[in-house]
Structure 1
Amino acid sequence: MPPGYATATDAAWYAGVPVGTLWRWASEGRVRKTGKGKQARYYVFDLVKAPRDEYTREQLAPGVAPPLPAGAKAA
C-alpha cells in the first residue's frame, strides 16, 4: 500500500466523519483513493484532522470537507 493511504474506517476516524461521508467525498473527487471495494484505501493527507484531542466533547465541530476539484459539483 502506498504511504499516506488508510482504510475507509481509519480515514473517517481521522477526519471525524462517518464512513459514508468519506465515500461521498471520494466519489466527488475531494479525497484520492486507490483500489476498489473492501480493498479501497483513502489518502489521509487530503483530509483535515478532527480536533478531538484538543477539545472537550461539547466544543467539537463536525468534520470539515476538503475542497472540490476545479469544475466538479457536489452530490
Structure 2
Amino acid sequence: MPEQLITEDLAAYWTGRPATTIRRWAAEGRLTRHQDRARRRNGVLYDLAELPEAKRDKDTRALITPAETPPLLDQAPLLAA
C-alpha cells in the first residue's frame, strides 16, 4: 500500500497530541520524517500508517483520549564490540 503522507499539523490532530510531540516522536525514532522540498513551510511529512489514532467523539470530533505513544521503529541491531 502506498504511503499516505500528511503534514505535521494533521499528524498532531490525528493523534490528539501537540506538534512538538510529533517532532519529539520523530527525533526518538518512533516516526519517519519524509522531506518534500516543494512545500513552502518546513517540508516535513509523516506517514499516516505510523501514527496512532486518537479517540474522538463521532459527532463533534472532540478529543476524548489522545493516542498512545508509538513504539520505536525497527532499528538495525547493534554490533557487539
TM-score with structure 1 setting the length: 0.73
Distance 1:68 1:54, change over 3 A: same
Larger Rg: 2
Q: Which structure 1 segments of 5+ residues have no match?
A: none
Q: Percent identity?
A: 33
- What amino acid is the match of 1:33? R
Aligned residues between the structures: 69
- Alignment root-mean-square deviation, CA: 2.7
Pick 1 or 2: higher relative contact order, CA cutoff 8 A, min separation 6: 1
1:64 corresponds, among 60, 63, 68, to: 68
TM (normalized to structure 2)? 0.68
Which one has a larger percent strand, Structure 1 or Structure 2?
2
CA separation of 1:10 and 1:29: change in aligned 2, threshold 3 A: same
